[in-house]
Amino acid sequence: MHVHKNDTVLVIAGNAVGKQGKVLKVFPDKNRVIIESVNIIKRHARPSQKNPQGGIVQKEGPISASNVMVVCPKCSEATRIGHAHVTDPTSGRRKTMRVCKSCKEMF
């Protein structure tokens, strides 16, 4: 999956087109992500210990990961993500790093 937790993403399709936010949770098996302050839904909640008042609760709903693009931390624009294999000089292990297709920066 091209989106990870704590990534900043831009919504490119759906009702929330153009909104940016931080990824709070990722569901790789369903190919969905929850983004901070995007796709706000309302749910009716019964009174409980945690919420003694009850009532209508607003929270973020999941949207498809195909409807978002990762925002590069260096060039600050929404971009496609590539992968590069890098050898760690200290341990000698190969790591897979994500690469911005625009500025070629690894993150």
- Output the pTM of the full model: 0.85
Residue-range definition of the domain harbouring residue 58: 1-71
pLDDT band at 83 (very low <50, low <70, confident <90, very high): very high
Q: Are 67 and 81 within one domain?
A: no
Q: Are 58 and 23 within one domain?
A: yes
Long-range contacts of 14-17 (CB under 8 A, 24+ apart): 14/39, 14/63, 14/64, 14/67, 15/39, 16/63
Q: Are 91 and 64 within one domain?
A: no
Q: Would you tell me how many other CB atoms lie within 10 Å of the CB of residue 10?
A: 19
**Number of structural domains found in the chain:** 2
Q: Note the pLDDT tens digit of each residue in 22-56.
A: 999 999 999 999 999 999 999 999 999 999 999 99
Q: Are 104 and 82 within one domain?
A: yes
Q: Are 40 and 86 within one domain?
A: no
Q: Are 56 and 102 within one domain?
A: no
Q: Are 65 and 87 within one domain?
A: no
